[in-house]
Amino acid sequence: MTNATNSILIRNVRILDPSQGIDRAGDLLLRDGKVSRVGEPVRDGNLPPQCAIVDGAGLVVCPGFIDLHVHLREPGYEDHETIATGLDAAARGGFTTVCAMPNTRPAMDNASVVDYVLRRAREANGVRVLPIGCVTKERAGQQLAEMWELAQAGAIAFSDDGSPVANPNLMRQALAYARGLGLPIINHCEDPVLSKGAPMHEGRVSNLLGLAGWPAVAEETMVARDIDLAALTRGRLHLAHISTAGAVELVRRAKERGLPVTAEATPHHLTLSDQWVCGHGSEGPLSGPLTLAAYDSSAKVNPPLRTARDAEALLAGLRDGVIDAIATDHAPHPVTTKKVSFDEAAFGIPGLETAFGALMLLVHRGELPLPTLVQRMTQGPLALLGERGVGLGSLREGSIADVTLFNPGLEWTVRGADFASKGKQTPLEGVTLKGRVVATIAGGRVVHSQISGLASSDNP
């Protein structure tokens, strides 16, 4: 599954590297797992032996994408996903680094589980895994996990994702303790009392469908609380998958105050709305009278898809830097937990393989500059990773050869059955996207390729 040579030359390609302010045509040479040369043409006489040469005409090369929020499910939920299948999905999506959430079974609340995840990742395809440890033991929200032990084992942050830290005093303690470790707390911002029993956003669509609604305030009250606790403790706070206009404004104000707060948004919250629960066609969500396509459980996600106004506010926050990073919240489930009634269906969307294509819709509509999109998927995540991100997210000479190569004009139709992920239920089923990753190189190794001359065994 890896390239047979130690060197790769990508010729006549558009090089897009926000870390250096580079957006130009040129050559990119990778050698022995590092970036060797960027920009100027490389003559044949200066090539290393057995160098693989790629014609990059019409393509764009950028640093490998970094995903701060992925559910690999293993250990414990291997029927949903394994580390191997999840990393294959990541490679197809252009991701060379993914951060693994701790809602496994057993939960990632001790060093042995972190060690297991890292070992299984090393056995996979070369995509880098950075584990996120639990905030509380068993993610139960009662007692802090052994955070020092988790940090020593390699955890890059702490989160009970999917289970918000509801107790404010416990959250205060977690932020203060994590500050001493130099690591952030990532919270899933949801007031479980306000959202109890609600499978989708509260609004016109939930009323139309007769489903209980989850109000935006259930997210915003928790965001406001956590920002105040970050101000009190000066602990680093990262807000996972914010989804409402109110949450964007709260983060904006926190950054204006100089607080140590960062935030992420997902491709589905940026590009979809609650209208998609009514079903969709190849052009987008259905409107008008309900059809048999309604109650589409593939569009059930936590936090829920919000309104078009919320998506517009998220996009504005992404453009101006209030939202630091795009993260997929890749959450695969077996078909048996999704092809049921909407109330009973599991929350989650498998996002690794569709993230870039979905976001390119915004680029082609002129709503998001391509350099901004690449920045939020490469440099932006480094605000969370800190020292753990050194050498990542850049094509600077001497940096790690994590590279994503994409065709911005390539049209393709989403088919969940073709995913490498075990999660096949996607709200984008049958939708035609424009823009696709054609090769992913992690540490100089080709982990995905649709290009002749780059050896890879996972072509769809």
Domain extents in the chain: 7-61+400-415+428-449, 63-389
Give every CB contact of residue 283 below 8 A, 6+ residues apart in sequence: 431
320 has catalytic annotation: no
For residue 149, give the amino acid letter: E
Task: Give the Cα separation of 459 and 92 in Å (integer).
Answer: 9
pLDDT of residue 234: 98
> CATH classification of 63-389, choosing from 3.20.20.140, 3.40.390.30, 3.40.50.300, 2.40.50.140?
3.20.20.140
Beta-bridged to residue 400, according to DSSP, are 34
Measured CA to CA, the distance from residue 253 to residue 269 in angstroms comes to 21
Q: State which amino acid sits at residue 439.
A: A
Contact 274, 203 (CB under 8 A): yes
* 112's tokens: 């042995």
Sign of CA dihedral 355, 328, 195, 82: positive
Predicted local confidence at residue 387, as pLDDT: 87
Residue 220's contacts (CB-CB under 8 Å, 6 or more residues apart) are: 189, 244, 246, 247, 250
Catalytic residue among 88, 310, 324, 329: 329
**DSSP per-residue string spanning 429-452:** TT-EEEEEEEEEEETTEEEEE-ST
pTM of the complete model: 0.96
Q: Given this model, what pLDDT does residue 72 score?
A: 98
User: What is the rounded CA–CA span in Å between residue 444 and residue 9?
Assistant: 11
Q: Residue 157: which of 304, 374, 354, 327 has the closest Cα?
A: 327
In the prediction, which pLDDT does 456 show?
64
**pLDDT at residue 233, rounded to an integer:** 98
CATH 3.90.1310.10 fits 7-61+400-415+428-449, yes or no: no
Candidates 49, 89, 53, 124; CA nearest to 351 is: 89
Q: What is the pLDDT along the chain (460 residues), one digit of tens a residue?
A: 344 458 999 999 999 999 999 999 999 999 999 999 999 888 887 788 889 999 999 999 999 999 999 999 999 999 999 999 999 999 999 999 999 999 999 999 999 999 999 999 999 989 999 999 999 999 999 999 999 999 999 999 999 998 999 999 999 999 999 999 999 999 999 999 999 999 999 999 999 999 999 999 999 999 999 999 999 999 999 999 999 999 999 999 999 999 999 999 999 999 999 999 999 988 899 998 999 999 999 999 999 999 999 999 999 999 999 999 999 999 999 999 999 999 999 999 999 999 999 999 999 999 999 999 999 999 999 999 988 898 999 999 999 999 999 999 999 999 999 999 999 999 999 999 999 999 999 999 999 999 987 876 444 3
Structure tokens given for 127:
């995509």
DSSP 264-327: EE-HHHHH--GGGGG-EETTEE--SS--TT-S-GGG--SSPP--HHHHHHHHHHHHHTSS-EE-
pLDDT of residue 2: 41
Tell me what pLDDT residue 458 has. 46
- pLDDT at position 293: 95
- φ/ψ of 167, rounded to 5, equals -75, 115
- Give the integer Cα–Cα distance in Å for 115 and 110: 9
d(CA 232, CA 420): 44
